[in-house]
Amino acid sequence: MTQVGKVVSPQALRIQHESGIRGGENTEFAARLREKAENQQLAGLQAGKEQVQFSKHAEQRMLQRGVSLSGENLQDLTQAVERARQKGSKDTVVIGKQGAFIVNVTNNVVVTTITEQEMRENIFTNIDSAVFM
């Protein structure tokens, strides 16, 4: 096993993994991979849910439409998406004071956004759920 603090290049780990034990369970690569996965799970539990990301299209629409999100609003949006995920949603519309956000729940990405006034003039298609925040 690797010493704590020892720097090992990814290439060295890959070579060790490919040329070493093919069972894969006892290689340094497998151990580091397990450790990384465990650390990410722990970080996710400690920091709450991973924040949603915004597609370039969604960012452009937010700028054009004057939609802005504070840290608290972004946290609310992230929680709304997580609730949709827990119910098995794939594509959802999250409706709040700032407008509506069409979110691909699987990829955790806001696809587009519209203002409250535009919501009255549009029909939402290709969504399987709606969340009000």
Structure tokens at 4: 């704590």
Per-residue DSSP letter, 11:
H
- Can you give the pLDDT at residue 7? 63
d(CA 89, CA 82): 9
Q: What is the pLDDT of residues 102-113, one digit of tens each?
A: 999 999 999 999
- Point out which residues pair with 110 in neighbouring strands: 54, 103
Q: What is the pLDDT of residues 76-97, one digit of tens each?
A: 999 999 999 999 999 999 998 8
Non-local (6+) Cβ contacts of 100 within 8 A are 93, 94, 113, 114, 116, 119, 124
- Can you give the pLDDT at residue 24? 47
Q: Does the model's pTM come out above 0.75?
A: no
Using left for φ > 0, alpha for ψ between -120 and 50, and beta otherwise, residue 53 falls in beta
- Can you give the pLDDT at residue 20? 56
As a whole number, mean pLDDT of residues 21-28 equals: 57
Q: Is the pLDDT of residue 28 over 90?
A: no
